[in-house]
Structure 1
Amino acid sequence: MTRMTRGKLDLDPATVKQARALARKAGRPIVTMAKKHTTVAVERATLRLAGLEGADAEGTPWVNRLMDVVRADTGLEHGVALPVWDALVRGEADDLSTLAQKASAGSVTFRLPEGKDAERARKASRTQVGRGIKRIDARRVERDRLIKRFGDAPRKPWIYLIVATGDIHEDIPQAQQAAREGADIIAVIRSTGQSLLDYVPEGATREGFAGTYATQENFRLMRAALDESSKELGRYVRLTNYASGLCMPEIAALAGLERLDMMLNDSMYGILFRDINPIRTFVDQRFSRQVHARAGIIINTGEDNYLTTADAVDAAHTVTTSQLLNEYFAKEAGLEDWQLGLGHAFEIDPEVPDSFRLELAHAMLARDLFPNAPLKWMPPTRHMTGDVFRGYLLDGFFNLVGALTGQGILLVGMMTEAVVTPWLSDRDLALQNVRYVMNAAGNLHQDFRPEPDGFIANRARQVLGESIDLMGQILDHEHGLLDAIADGTFGLMKRPQDAGRGLDGVAKKSSAYYNPASELLEEK
């Protein structure tokens, strides 16, 4: 439970409590709906947790091949576990890999077992999937041990820096050098369009578009490289990737298995900005967040994206609303406050009068609403013009907001951001900017307190009030949040629940449905 506090803005605790109650009321039907459905990605994630890896000669993962055959034979609504482990118990194959290959060749027919056969399949699947969950548990313990051994970042906020060459073997030396220059978190940006692939590529990849493919082998290689850097530098260097898109649950499982530390994982990003079906997204995100909770992974949400399409002043309350919803969905799935890297962005047009005061008001509102969360602020992009001097100054203002509000995770802004792909020299200058502001400001957030009835405090209260009004409007819809999303409430994107990519990969669970991964994660 988030501790109630008036904070520096002296927010009315009753108003804050009302906001959370409305978010809970709006989110609860979504959770109920998610529990009643499954998706092909949830079922494939279950197979991955059971140890199924690899791909056929065409590069199609065996989890996809096996899932497709099971679905054709028995349907998606019963889940993959009972048909698959029934086949294994019956001796159709010695292991999952062989079974997938035989199924792909058309030499296995699956059935939905009943009675004692179903019980045997249920027990066998729980045992094998349980080994994958135990591996995730072991990787979490390993992280804690390495942090104790190497030491942690000596100060907050953690400095978050991106690499994105498209080639994992080029990413690695860049990531290691970024760590030497002061980065605490390395984010490997995912190749453009991967979120729309309904499979996870296999192996180490050498080609990507504005990023590098998220694969299990790429995760393993980068994690090993950053462990070397952690030993060299005497502090644990964290690794981030993206659990979003059509394979969100699978990528979350792979992240847990390979000891990633943070994952971008927003409840509505895929719906709004990738036109992925809302039901598919909410089902997948709940499972993925249960995995993240178990793995001790910090999630980063994507509210910053709303401000790339909507005005950052007029739409400020939609960000607060999304943060409150993300908090509810995350905690319902088992995540704790320290794992909630809730998002925002420094995207107000600098020509707007008092733009810095407005940015500070929004940042302080998030800090006071979520006092125990490691908030992640995003640097300016929308109003970067190519004037590198102006951009460098804007990034300095952004860094100062982070210092004034005690942000937990600070993504390093580049003065050439959103204009050209930044050079290594741009990164070095950007890190100098961060170091200067953070060193000069010190613990300024301990001293800074706005006037109780001044511009900043009043603006924060206004945004919170508008967020409460918006959630009331959401609840006035017949189907609540799903209708609000369809109406374009967030980011001006209209996404109906009966459309969007991935809808054909969703099914309502039957009375015979069983998933050992969900069962084990729910128990925890």
Structure 2
Amino acid sequence: MTAATTAARIPLDPATVRTARRLARKAGRPIVRMAQQHTTVSVERATLRLAGLGGADAEGTPWVNRLLDAVRGDVGIEHGVCLPVYDALRRGEAADLTELAQKAAVGSVRFRLPEGTERTRAASLARKQVGAGIRRIDTRRRERDRLIARHGDAPRTPWIYLIVATGDIYEDIPQAQAAARAGADVVAVIRSTGQSLLDFVPEGATREGYAGTYATQENFRLMRAALDETSKELGRYIRLTNYASGLCMPEIAALAGLERLDMMLNDSMYGILFRDINPVRTFVDQRFSRQVHARAGIIINTGEDNYLTTADAVEAAHTVTVSQLLNEYFAKEAGLEDWQLGLGHAFEIDPEVTDSFRLELAHALLARQLFPRAPLKWMPPTRHMSGDIFRGYLLDAFFNLAGALTGQGILLVGMMTEAVVTPWLSDRDLALQNVRYVLDAAGGLAEDFRPAPDGFIAQRAQQVLGEAVDLLERITDTEQHRDGLLDAIADGTFGLMRRPADGGRGLDGVARKADGYLNPAIDLLEETS
């Protein structure tokens, strides 16, 4: 992406920028150490998926859940799932992982922790089979590169990002293909409401969902194949997005890598704040998922825009900047590169506020300048949309113009019926027309847009950056927050949501690693991070 190279620059103090990043690292390091010291049921299930275990029983419970639960009941997960599982395979308890899971589900196999030579052999077999899954992800990444070289890429930035999700994957496919033909560069199939709270990944193609379509491996495969056909037809590669968040974040990340998705929503705090998922569970899961995304060449999209749906977009602007800095640190620590950081922010200021558009430009330029090599994901107005579709269409046009002026990399298409109904195809067509008109009419206007160095926009950006540094200083001040970022989250610092470290969903799925813990997926991913 080259959008950042032509965006206007505002006079930010380099020392203040360095201080902000230093404080973000200081706030993030204890979280990384905590993540390195723990595992979760989803990390272990993701490892089994990379080893090739898929499918579900007659009741729809995935075999990875059945196998993991049996291992956990016998020996816990503190040593990792691989040692007891591959010890059982080596002892002849089953011919493969699927048969082992089936036997485990009916209690006909018991698990143990091998020692000595038996441990060494179990570990070797585990690394071989999990390594095959990692190599498949490598193959899919190379496949993406070949298809982009063959078909071509989006002709310009920002990439136009459109949501398609009816609940029925077989209805999603023609709608996604129609969206690509109408100009979308990225198609997002958002998940059915509530899937983030399921501690399992549904199996197979699904035809029912509420306000979204279930994220499953088969749905990923079907949509990827359909968009590959459309890429060939249009002569440009169409990217596919889904969500790697919630209680199954690591598993969905692994499935995305195996099925060649291109972007995944993957925020470090979204699940904590807006789904009440335990903070420790989330941070452990997000580190593993980002290591997978790094290996797979997947661009992540973070969720800072959500803070502005619960907090005031002017008063809380600095919390977005702080979260972006934290997301950047966590992402890079996990091995992601700048071009993979679709850091989120949004056009959510109340349009009744005087100078609201100038404020939006200030916030967008601040993000663009702080992260010049990151694509940035710019989100449309939602909070202040109403039943007045004409006003909504105008707001979306202003949002599109702000994106063009400030060199955003990924522009999510806003819908004028956002507040009324799930958009019809005609609504999407009108929204895409809006985007295309603004981007075509603006052309290279970003090259000509130069805010006054001492003007309103520059001063506002400097103010927000200063407030972000102040907040990071409070977060890292152990007298105010003994446990740093975890305490800040518990205090309601982000999005006004109070989420204590010992509360929330999924805490019972977290375990502190024992001496001798083994996970070949982590070992292989960290070798290349």
Shorter-normalised TM range? over 0.9
Q: CA RMSD in A?
A: 1.2
TM-fit CA distance, 1:420: 1.5
What secondary structure does 2:476 align onto?
helix
**Secondary structure in 2 aligned to 1:377?**
strand
Counterpart in the other structure of 1:508: 512
Aligned mates of 1:4, 1:382 — CA distance in 2:
31
TM-score, normalised relative to structure 2: 0.98
Looking at structure 2, the residues matched to 4 and 124 of structure 1 have their Cα atoms a distance apart, in angstroms, of 48
Following the alignment from structure 2 to structure 1, what is the Cα–Cα distance between the partners of residues 5 and 444?
Answer: 23
d(CA) in 1 for partners of 2:29, 2:184: 38
1:378 aligns to what?
A: 379
Q: Is it true that 1:433 corresponds to 2:437 in the alignment?
A: no
Task: Please point out which of 470, 475, 481 is paired with 2:485.
Answer: 481
1:497 aligns with 2:508: no
- Alpha-carbon distance in structure 1 between the residues aligned to 2:302 and 2:389: 28
* CA distance in 2: counterparts of 1:89 and 1:7, whole angstroms: 62
Q: Over residues 345-395 of structure 1, what are the superposed CA-to-partner deviations in whole Å (9 max), with x where a residue is unaligned?
A: 100000000000000000000000000000101100110111111111100
CA contact (8 A) 2:84 2:112 kept: yes
**Contact 2:6 / 2:446 at 8 angstroms: preserved in 1?**
no
Residues 83-142 of structure 1, C-alpha deviations (whole Å, 9 max, x = no match): 000001111111000100011111100001111111101100000000000000000000
Match of 2:356 in 1: 355
Structure 1 unmatched runs, 5+? none
Does the Cα contact within 8 Å between 2:475 and 2:485 map onto a contact in 1?
A: yes
Alpha-carbon separation, structure 1, partners of 2:365 and 2:142: 34
Partner of 1:456: 457
How far residue 5 of structure 1 moved from its aligned partner, in angstroms, is 13
* 1:446-503 Cα shifts (integer Å, max 9, x gaps): 1111100100000000000000000011012100000000000000000000010000
Distance 1:167 1:5, change over 3 A: closer
Q: Which residue of 2 aligns with 1:99?
A: 100
CA distance in 2: counterparts of 1:5 and 1:345, whole angstroms: 20
SS at match of 1:344: strand
Superposed, 1:24-423 pairs within 5 Å as 24-423=25-424
Question: How far apart, CA to CA, are the structure 1 residues paired with 2:231 and 2:6?
Answer: 36
Query: 2:31 & 2:135 partners in 1: Cα distance?
Result: 29
Q: Report what 1:470 is aligned to.
A: 471
CA distance in 1, matches of 2:431, 2:260: 28
* Aligned residue type for 2:47: T
Q: What secondary structure does 1:173 align onto? A: helix
Question: How far is 1:164 from its partner?
Answer: 1.1
Q: Which amino acid aligns with 2:330?
A: F
Task: Indicate conservation of the 8 Å contact 1:5/1:368, yes or no.
Answer: no
Return structure 1 stretches of 4+ with deviation > 4 angstroms.
3-7
Partners of 2:261 and 2:298 within 8 A in 1: yes
Give 1:438 shift: 0.2
2:321 and 2:48 map into 1 onto residues whose CA distance is 37
User: Does the 8 Å contact 2:164/2:175 carry over to 1?
Assistant: yes
* Aligned residues of 1:263 and 1:298 also touching (Cα < 8 A): yes
Q: CA deviation at 1:6?
A: 12
CA distance in 1, matches of 2:201, 2:59: 13
Q: In structure 1, what is the Cα distance between the partners aligned to 2:8 and 2:338?
A: 17
% identical aligned pairs: 82
Please give the secondary structure, in 1, of the residue aligned with 2:203: coil
Q: Which amino acid aligns with 1:484?
A: A
Amino acid of the structure 2 residue aligned with 1:456: I
Write the distance in 2 (CA, Å) between the matches of 1:5 and 1:432: 24
| Inter-partner Cα distance in structure 2 for 1:461 and 1:42 | 40
Partners of 1:29 and 1:419 in 2: CA distance: 43
Q: Which amino acid letter does the alignment assign opposite residue 452 of structure 2?
A: E
- Kept in 2, the 8 Å contact 1:266–1:302? The answer is yes
Structure 1 contact 163–174 (Cα < 8 Å) conserved: yes
- Number of aligned residue pairs: 522
Post-superposition Cα deviations, 1:154-173, rounded to whole Å, max 9, x if no partner, equal 11110000111000000000
- SS of residue in 1 equivalent to 2:241: strand
Provide, for residues 378-426 of structure 1, a one-character-per-residue CA deviation record: whole Å limited to 9, x for no partner: 1001101111111111000000000001110000001111322111111
Deviations for 1:21-44, whole angstroms, at most 9, x for unmatched residues?
Answer: 000000000000000000000000
Q: Deviations over 1:222-250 (max 9, x none)?
A: 00000000000000000000000000000
For the residues of structure 2 that align with 1:428 and 1:102, how far apart are their CA atoms?
A: 52
